[in-house]
């Protein structure tokens, strides 16, 4: 007989095990009925977080029991949408800590801006929730570290929102490379040129929109007056909240270069150039023009972005080129092409690639979400566990730090978790949290 969750909790409570009253923690669900649904909550409801929640609900194997945002208008709109489109009636919260007190909530989606990921994730782990956290894992290297420690300490299943790990295109590419078909992989060239990377048109500071708790939105970031060009969606172009295209797309695409050789360690060196060279009427701190080189043991990863344009090599605005001795692969989320060295015969190349083309539907997000939901029940590792999210976030943040400090070359000391001999760069490893928020302990 399968023990339902409630019976299990009741039995455990009787045995004095389930709730630790002193710490406020409780025992997360460990036994699942065959068709028992996962109860999920969402923190950050505007854009990606809400889309991820819809992917969860489309599996028909979850209930949405809570949604949280600091913008009350959004909470109202999202509640109405969940009600009409998914017959869900979640409780609404303006303070994530209140939502995390819900003992029946199994997992949370963290869809807040990057500067909030650490506090949201660590608190969720401490409350015994499994976590689907959007990428990049966090807005600094030190925050990523404590998040991984927290997930490990509290034995939480985490899926980082790098859905390419569950993507049919990328899995085909990886199989091809790992079967040695490319020959020796020596360069991975990555580019991401997007219009939005220059930020929004400049505007004056103004009063906070009605229904928004702006101080709570800022959270641990420095206090400043309200400006729409730094708020919803636009925050990613300001260092206090995000890292520009380098972290926004870098973690997706650099991850492909690391996966190709199963690299799970940070770079030893990084060289970078980053500047704002154009579109002065747009509002941003992060760089519109950037090149970063990661010299690896036996290959080199090259990153570049030119924000404000919507075109790029191979007529692709973003992409990854894997250059090997025998062939080259050019890939994006929709497709990959193979070019055989010394041959221009496209049909021959397609014959070679076709056994590696996956036929399953192009639904990277759906696959990624289902993988997480299965891992909640099996307690097995997800396709993108927190260690992978942390590692690639380090590459992206190191690129930004090298460019911001104009260091030319930075060398990373893994033992000390610091750059060698560069105080300015080391000062950017960890943000100073604004009171009353405190940098969390695992
Ligand atoms: N995986 C992907 O392909 C992908 C795509 C887009 C965005 N993202 C990631 O998703 C995250 C969100 O990005 P977005 O574009 O949706 O941003 P957004 O600004 O549109 O939405 C963020 C939401 O979080 C809310 N929020 C802010 N502080 C909060 C707090 N303390 N408590 C509760 N809610 C809070 C905001 O009010 C807003 O509703 C980012 O980390 C981003 O990098 C991932």
pLDDT tens digits, one per residue of 91-150: 999 999 999 999 999 999 999 999 999 999 999 999 999 999 999 999 999 999 999 999
Residue 310 and residue 173 share a domain: yes
Residue 76 has pLDDT above 70, yes or no: yes
Beta bridge partners of 21: none
CA of 84 to the centre of ligand 1 (A): 23
Whole-number Å distance between alpha carbons of 294 and 399: 9
Residue 429 has pLDDT above 60, yes or no: yes
Specify the DSSP class assigned to residue 381: P
Residue 34 lies in a domain: yes
Which are the contacts of 290, defined by CB distance < 8 A and separation ≥ 6? 244, 245, 246, 272, 273, 274, 275, 303, 304, 305, 399, 403
Residue 159 and residue 205 share a domain: no
Residue 163 has pLDDT above 80, yes or no: yes
Residue 207 and residue 290 share a domain: yes
Q: Write the CA distances from 80 to 67, 107, 232, 254, 347, integer angstroms.
A: 12, 22, 20, 38, 52
Per 3-state DSSP, what percentage of the chain is helix, strand, and coil (rounded to 5)? Answer: 35, 20, 45
Helix axes 386-404, 141-153, angle to 10 degrees: 170
Lowest mean pLDDT among 25-39, 162-176, 229-243, 309-323: 25-39
Residue 380 lies in a domain: no
Residue 368 lies in a domain: no
The Cβ of residue 51 has, within 10 Å, a number of other Cβ atoms equal to 13
Atom of ligand 1 nearest to the CA of 52: 1
| Residue among 113, 135, 237 whose CB has most ligand 1 atoms within 8 A, to mutate | 113
**pLDDT > 70 in the chain, percent:** 94
Domain final position from 129, 164, 199: 164
Residue 268 and residue 142 share a domain: no
Q: Print the domain residue range for 262.
A: 168-360+386-426
Residue 20 has pLDDT above 60, yes or no: no
Residue 48 lies in a domain: yes
Residue 82 has pLDDT above 70, yes or no: yes
Q: What is the mean pLDDT of residues 391-413?
A: 97
First to last CA, the chain: 37
Residue 242 lies in a domain: yes
The Cβ of residue 266 has, within 10 Å, a number of other Cβ atoms equal to 19
Specify the DSSP class assigned to residue 294: E
Which are the contacts of 226, defined by CB distance < 8 A and separation ≥ 6? 205, 206, 207, 208, 209, 214
- pLDDT in the model for residue 15: 29
Per the model's pLDDT, the better-predicted residue between 361 and 318 turns out to be: 318
Chain CA centroid to CA 402, Å: 21
Helix, strand, or coil here: 411?
Answer: strand
Confidence tier at 24 by pLDDT (50, 70, 90): very low
Confidence tier at 362 by pLDDT (50, 70, 90): confident
Whole-number Å distance between alpha carbons of 202 and 425: 29
Residue 197 and residue 146 share a domain: no
Residue 12 has pLDDT above 70, yes or no: no
Confidence tier at 26 by pLDDT (50, 70, 90): low
- Atom 5 of ligand 1, residue of closest alpha carbon: 48
Beta strands across the sheet bearing 300-306:
336-340, 327-331, 318-324, 185-192, 300-306, 289-295, 269-275, 409-413, 418-419
- pLDDT in the model for residue 4: 39
* Beta-carbon-side half-sphere exposure of residue 425 (alpha carbons within 13 Å): 25
Residue 18 has pLDDT above 80, yes or no: no
Residue 76 and residue 34 share a domain: yes
Q: What is the mean pLDDT of residues 62-69?
A: 98
Domain tally, the chain: 2
Residue 343 has pLDDT above 90, yes or no: yes
Which are the contacts of 333, defined by CB distance < 8 A and separation ≥ 6? 164, 167, 169, 170, 364
Residue 396 has pLDDT above 80, yes or no: yes
Whole-number Å distance between alpha carbons of 197 and 322: 24
110 sits in which H/E element: strand 107-110
Q: What is the CATH number of the domain that holds 284?
A: 3.30.360.10
Whole-number Å distance between alpha carbons of 263 and 256: 10
Domain final position from 98, 133, 164: 164
Residue 437 has pLDDT above 80, yes or no: yes
Residue 331 and residue 344 share a domain: yes
Atom of ligand 1 nearest to the CA of 71: 37
- pLDDT in the model for residue 358: 83
Judge whether 154 and 126 are in contact, CB under 8 Å.
Answer: yes
What values do phi and psi take at 434, rounded to 5?
A: -80, 135
Q: What is the mean pLDDT of residues 270-293?
A: 98
Residue 391 lies in a domain: yes
Question: Angle at Cα 388 formed by Cα 38 and Cα 150, nearest 5°?
Answer: 60
CA nearest neighbour of 241 among 249, 232, 252, 253: 232
Residue 8 has pLDDT above 80, yes or no: no
Residue 258 has pLDDT above 80, yes or no: yes
Residue 159 and residue 172 share a domain: no
- Contact 218 CB / ligand 1 (< 6 Å): no
CA nearest neighbour of 402 among 262, 260, 282, 250: 250
Pair of tokens at residue 28: 């997360």
Pair of tokens at residue 184: 């020796």
Whole-number Å distance between alpha carbons of 37 and 50: 19
Residue 435 lies in a domain: no
- pLDDT in the model for residue 7: 34
- pLDDT in the model for residue 64: 98
Residue 192 and residue 124 share a domain: no
Which are the contacts of 123, defined by CB distance < 8 A and separation ≥ 6? 96, 97, 100, 440
List of E strands, 147-245: 158-160, 185-192, 200-201
Residue 355 lies in a domain: yes
**pLDDT > 90 in the chain, percent:** 90
Residue 146 and residue 188 share a domain: no
CA nearest neighbour of 30 among 160, 128, 149: 128
Whole-number Å distance between alpha carbons of 435 and 192: 36
- Contact 240 CB / ligand 1 (< 6 Å): no
- pLDDT in the model for residue 25: 52
The burial class, CB within 10 Å (0-12 / 13-18 / 19+), for 59 is middle
What values do phi and psi take at 436, rounded to 5?
A: -85, 5
Domain final position from 102, 135, 164: 164
CA of 117 to the centre of ligand 1 (A): 9
Q: What is the CATH number of the domain that holds 148?
A: 3.40.50.720
Residue 238 and residue 101 share a domain: no
Helix, strand, or coil here: 326?
Answer: coil
- pLDDT in the model for residue 407: 85
CA of 90 to the centre of ligand 1 (A): 19
- Contact 358 CB / ligand 1 (< 6 Å): no
Q: What is the mean pLDDT of residues 189-199?
A: 98
Whole-number Å distance between alpha carbons of 79 and 101: 20
Helix axes 168-178, 250-259, angle to 10 degrees: 30
CA of 250 to the centre of ligand 1 (A): 17
Residue 182 and residue 136 share a domain: no
């Amino acid at each position: 007989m399968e023990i339902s969750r409630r019976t299990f909790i009741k039995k455990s409570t009787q045995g004095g095990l389930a709730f630790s009253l002193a710490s406020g923690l409780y025992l997360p669900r460990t036994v699942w009925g065959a068709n028992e649904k996962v109860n999920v909550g969402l923190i950050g409801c505007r854009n990606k977080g809400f889309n991820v929640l819809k992917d969860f609900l489309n599996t028909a194997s979850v209930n949405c029991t809570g949604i949280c945002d600091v913008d009350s208008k959004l909470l109202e709109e999202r509640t109405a949408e969940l009600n009409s489109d998914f017959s869900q009636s979640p409780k609404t919260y303006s303070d994530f800590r209140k939502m995390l007190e819900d003992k029946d909530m199994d997992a949370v989606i963290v869809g807040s801006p990057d500067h909030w990921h650490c506090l949201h994730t660590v608190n969720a782990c401490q409350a015994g929730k499994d976590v689907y956290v959007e990428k990049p894992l966090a807005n600094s290297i030190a925050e990523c570290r404590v998040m991984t420690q927290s997930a490990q300490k509290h034995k939480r299943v985490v899926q980082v929102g790098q859905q390419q790990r569950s993507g049919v295109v990328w899995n085909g590419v990886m199989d091809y490379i790992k079967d040695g078909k490319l020959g020796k992989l020596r360069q991975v060239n990555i580019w991401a040129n997007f219009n939005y990377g220059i930020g929004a048109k400049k505007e004056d500071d103004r009063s906070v929109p009605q229904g928004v708790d702006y101080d709570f939105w800022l959270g641990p970031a420095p206090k400043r007056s309200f400006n729409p060009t730094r708020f919803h969606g636009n925050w990613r172009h300001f260092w206090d909240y995000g890292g520009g295209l380098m972290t926004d797309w870098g973690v997706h695409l650099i991850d492909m270069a690391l996966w190709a050789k199963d690299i799970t360690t940070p770079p030893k060196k990084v060289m970078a150039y980053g500047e704002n060279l154009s579109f002065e009427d747009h509002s941003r701190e992060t760089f519109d023009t950037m090149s970063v080189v990661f010299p690896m043991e036996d290959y080199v990863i090259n990153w570049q972005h030119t924000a404000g344009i919507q075109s790029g090599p191979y007529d692709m605005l973003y992409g990854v080129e894997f250059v090997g001795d025998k062939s080259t692969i050019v890939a994006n989320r929709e497709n990959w092409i193979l070019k055989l060295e010394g041959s221009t015969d496209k049909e021959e190349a397609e014959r070679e690639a076709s056994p590696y083309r996956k036929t399953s539907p192009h639904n990277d997000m759906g696959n990624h979400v289902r993988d997480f939901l299965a891992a909640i029940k099996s307690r097995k590792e997800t396709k993108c566990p927190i260690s992978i999210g942390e590692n690639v976030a380090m590459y992206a943040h190191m690129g930004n730090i090298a460019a911001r400090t104009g260091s030319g070359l930075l060398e990373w000391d893994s033992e000390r978790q610091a750059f060698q001999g560069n105080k300015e760069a080391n000062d950017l490893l960890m943000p100073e949290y604004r009171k009353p928020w405190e940098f969390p302990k695992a």
